[in-house]
């Protein structure tokens, strides 16, 4: 199943309204895609990334209706997400984080990372492990990257990026007074103002579009 880039489904959904079914058969890409993944993984390791290949999730299908989001997931080789021309619908999550007063948590990603190295990003993100519910991935990544748990969490959107990477977007609100502690995937972090128009220059256009999408809910 080939899924065109764009906004596939718009929530919000509670985590309990996201249904997940895993296929048993791993995805088998074409040899050209395998070769491209091998080259990308080798280049990643040569620049110092400790990334190890393995299995993750891909979006095989979805359905949004009747107040629920149904995801059909399939095991896929992790390195296929590195193929920028065709990531084979590899699945990732983005957990955007806001403080109780509306500020947005932003972190600059370390130079050794596989995705967005040296760029600013909102919240936490990562790949979905085999047999994992992506709603659990949102809280796992938030805990691993920022050592914090949300007061409330919603699933906001399912997006297919131009690289054919599927992205499940969640929005986490932290309790008043919560303190974050970044892991080594971030070399700097800051709380950006609730008003996106007041964001600093390092906030690029994709980040502003994502915030606008979430703020419109």
Give me 52's structure tokens: 């190890």
Count: domains in the chain? 1
Instruction: Report d(CA 50, CA 53) in Å as an integer.
Output: 10
In a domain, residue 204? The reply is: yes
In a domain, residue 22? The reply is: yes
Tens digits of pLDDT across the chain (217 residues): 578 889 999 999 999 999 999 999 999 999 999 999 999 999 888 887 876 789 999 999 999 988 999 999 999 999 999 999 999 999 999 999 999 999 999 999 998 888 788 999 999 999 999 999 999 999 999 999 999 999 999 999 999 999 999 999 999 999 998 999 999 989 999 999 999 999 999 999 999 999 998 987 6
Check residue 180 and give left, alpha or beta (phi > 0: left; psi -120 to 50: alpha).
beta
Residue 170 domain boundaries = 6-215
Give me 1's structure tokens: 């199943």
Which residues on adjacent β-strands are paired with residue 91? 166
Instruction: Report d(CA 5, CA 85) in Å as an integer.
Output: 12
Q: Residue 135: is the preceding peptide bond cis (ω within 30°)?
A: no
Could you report the per-residue pLDDT of 72-112, keeping only the tens digit for each? 999 999 999 999 999 999 999 999 999 999 999 999 999 88
CATH of the domain at 200: 3.90.79.10
- Is residue 68 within 8 Å of residue 15, measured between CB atoms? no
Q: Does the predicted TM-score (pTM) go above 0.85?
A: yes
In a domain, residue 1? The reply is: no
């Amino acid at each position: 199943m080939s899924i065109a880039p764009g906004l596939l489904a718009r929530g919000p959904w509670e985590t309990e309204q996201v249904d997940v079914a895993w296929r048993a058969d791993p995805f088998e890409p074409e040899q050209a895609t395998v070769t491209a993944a091998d080259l990308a993984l080798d280049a990643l390791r040569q620049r110092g990334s400790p990334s190890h290949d393995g299995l993750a999730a891909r979006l095989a299908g979805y359905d949004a209706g009747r107040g629920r989001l149904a995801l059909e997931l399939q095991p896929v080789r992790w390195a296929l997400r590195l193929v920028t021309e065709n990531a084979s619908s590899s699945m990732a999550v983005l957990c955007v984080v806001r403080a109780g007063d509306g500020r947005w948590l932003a972190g600059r990603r370390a130079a050794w990372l596989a995705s967005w190295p040296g760029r600013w990003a909102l919240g936490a993100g990562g790949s979905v492990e085999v047999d994992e519910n992506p709603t659990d991935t949102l809280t796992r990544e938030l805990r691993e990257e920022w050592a914090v748990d949300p007061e409330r969490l919603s699933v906001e959107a399912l997006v297919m990026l131009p690289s054919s990477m599927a992205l499940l977007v969640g929005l986490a609100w932290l309790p008043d007074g919560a303190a974050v502690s970044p892991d080594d995937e971030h070399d700097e972090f800051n709380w950006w103002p609730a008003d996106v128009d007041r964001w600093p220059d390092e906030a690029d256009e994709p980040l502003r579009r994502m915030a606008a999408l979430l703020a419109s809910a």
